[in-house]
Amino acid sequence: MTVPPRWAGGLILARVTNETVVNCGIGPGGCYVRVTVDGIEAEPAIPAEWIDGGLPQFVDRSLAVGPGTHTVQAQVLTPADGAAMELYDWGFTVELASTRG
């Protein structure tokens, strides 16, 4: 994601979605999702817990950044028991908005 040099800064908005997640369990030790920008956890900087079930789930995160090129990543922490987590029909959308200086 590139914030043009003529902008004072940008706001990166990221959304991770899934239709179904399997093998995450419920409660501590389940699956957690976080979004990072240049290795910094986006706000709110609390990993979101995904649980097994048939309901769609999503995580919205954002971070203010300066001009330049930025790397945006979605990261998933899998269950502590080593089970193979499965995501179905997942998506990762990243948008950029200009901020005024």
**Distance (Å, whole) CA 6 – CA 65:** 13
pLDDT at 80: 65
Query: Could you tell me how many residues make up the chain?
Result: 101
Write the CB contacts of 46 (distance below 8 Å, at least 6 apart in sequence): none
Residue with tokens 């956890």: 41
Q: For position 101, what pLDDT does the model report?
A: 60
Whole-number mean pLDDT of the chain?
86
Model-level pTM?
0.84
Furthest-apart CA atoms within the chain: distance in Å: 49
Domain 2-99 has CATH 2.60.120.40: yes
Please name the amino acid found at residue 19. Answer: E
How far, in Å, CA of 77 to CA of 29, rounded? Answer: 9
Task: Spell out the domain ranges in the chain.
Answer: 2-99
Other beta carbons less than 10 A from residue 94's beta carbon: 16
Q: Are 4 and 74 in contact (CB under 8 A)?
A: no
Q: What is the pLDDT of residues 38-63, one digit of tens each?
A: 999 999 998 888 777 766 788 999 99
